Structure 1
């Protein structure tokens, strides 16, 4: 798909888009957080009229919270502001809105970028993806656990709630002092903010507003992450065959969405470019894609076709494709005939 000469020149191609703009970053913070807080207030005000009316600003606010997460995400990569200290401060503050500790998330996500698609190193910050051979070598209870994990109810419902509400409240093993303190600060901030809002407006009103915002935004966020690496012709290779550029351009999707959804999702659909260079701020991804044929050579995943990703559960190393669980039975029959 990608000629070696083109791949070799990717650093030169991507470099102009890695420059962040303080003014554009500040404006993105304003046009994301100001309407988010305004919609939160409108949702509270509408509770006295009808909860069905409340759902409308909650849906819009959840979209803005996804956009806020992309700001947090860019800060973790050090790409949102030219100044690293500014990235850390803004990333920590915006991370509180998303229940996400800055340094903990930055660590796991950096591992994800360094190992995405590498079958010898996958697992940290990734969607759990087994090969057929790995799956068949497991005891029955681990296979059951994998099937449960891959169930859409768990993957997009129970899973996100567990990760953002519970898992992120604890430090990972081996975390350094700065990372541990950041997690404690985020946890304390959440207690004070949630406690203050519950005291001010009542816990029922808080849950009725923040509940759907949280559930919808985390569902959308996990869905985006899932589609960006779980498509039929994705890229997975053993360590010695694994290649960073191929992992980015072949193993990360171009999720072609309507323009309004690209705005709400902070252009993260241009994930192939983001994985090639995480230093590109989200507001430059669209331009990088449209100005370079190299990035347009990636077959897009559309909003409609992306739902097929729900059927992809396991990686077949022979066919180099993600397959459904039904394939395992056919695989066993094929092996028994050999």
Structure 2
């Protein structure tokens, strides 16, 4: 696809979804109420159920985790400046919801904008995404690099240890390139989290707090990483190098339409319409489905369901030759063959981040 063709297509699609980029203050406030209200009530229910049965507590913790995801979607919209028209309002609410979801607002806002600018671009991996190696990179890698990558891509590590590593540890620190405003926001987020948790421990005791909060953090973290994972790693997805990459292709073909049951779609703030979001990040979450339904070209995006998305669990490497994901098992024979010299091959490495 030529650059001029891509530009024209982008302009046409942008024009189609432009009406849906207008946020509605009443809709935003309503979403705050129907998200934060149930989250607090479910947390309280989980706490009071401790005197009855811990199984009942866990039963309350699961939907509470769902509302943490919904809170994160509000946070996510604030990062894009799409939840409110006023930038300061987005910054304030983004920081508050960042405390509730354990994510520093300005740090994530920066890394996420980089993710959007280079999503599906093989030459721009490394910030705000999940580590993907190509087959050639993996074959060329040293044994220890291969081992680390295999550990990283193991579902038990990615979705088991990942939530703890990312939300409780990684996001507590600034990256070296962070500027002062971003650093201060991370410090502020950490202080507010500590104050909130200290207050809750004072109110209910540390044991009760941990029994309720830890499963909520783990389940919401697991679900968040899973959503981010399947939004870009699915059959027939799109990855290309800079010279062949285009913003439109990355949005429409490199981002999935995760068709969820209506209740789960609501809980996850319509983020399943990820192709729409990547095309037009300014569309608030409550308008994503409307934009999808009103724009026929967007309805051609790859649709995945809960059932079909499970196939992604075996995806390990991107095969540039066949334009698709493969498992480690599928490249065993190629590993035994001598590696031909490849000029300019660089092994891309990145940390695990939730979108």
> Would the TM-score normalized by the shorter structure come out above 0.5?
yes
Q: Counterparts of 1:299 and 1:163 in 2: how far apart (Å)?
A: 28
Residue of structure 1 in register with 2:44 after alignment: 41
Q: 2:235 aligns with which of 232, 245, 248?
A: 232
**8 Å Cα contact 2:259/2:272 also seen in 1:** yes
1:315 maps to 318
Alpha carbons of 1:194 and 1:323: their partners in 2 closer, same or farther (altered >3 Å)? same
Alignment partner, residue 197 of structure 2: 194
Which residue in the other structure is 1:139 paired with?
A: 142
Q: Does 1:165 align with 2:168?
A: yes
What is residue 66 of structure 2 aligned with on the other side? 63
- Match of 2:51, SS state, is coil
SS where residue 322 of structure 1 aligns?
strand
Secondary structure in structure 2 of the residue aligned to 1:224:
helix
Report deviation, 1:333: 6.6
Structure 1 vs Structure 2 CA RMSD: 1.7
Partner of 1:75: 78
- Structure 1: how far apart are the matches of 2:121 and 2:331? 22
Q: How far 1:153 sits from its partner (Å)?
A: 1.0
Structure 1 CA distance, aligned partners of 2:15 and 2:248? 14
> Structure 1: any 5+ residue segments left out of the alignment?
none
Q: TM-score, normalised by structure 2?
A: 0.92
Aligned match for 2:214, one of 211, 220, 241: 211
C-alpha displacement at 1:334, in angstroms? Answer: 8.0
TM-score (norm 1): 0.96
1:111 aligns with 2:114: yes
Post-superposition shift, 1:193? Answer: 1.1
1:232–1:323 Cα contact (<8 Å) kept: no
Of 51, 54, 57, which residue of structure 2 is paired with 1:54?
57
Distance in 2, Cα, partners of 1:66 & 1:297: 27
Q: Partner of 1:223 in structure 2?
A: 226
**Does 2:120 match 1:129?**
no
Larger CA deviation: 288-297 vs 26-35: 288-297
Q: 2:248 aligns with which of 245, 250, 260?
A: 245
Runs of 4 or more consecutive aligned structure 1 residues displaced over 2 Å after TM superposition: 3-8, 330-336
SS at match of 1:47: helix
Q: For residues 330 and 277 of structure 1, what CA distance do their matches in structure 2 show?
A: 42
CA distance in 2, matches of 1:310, 1:316: 16
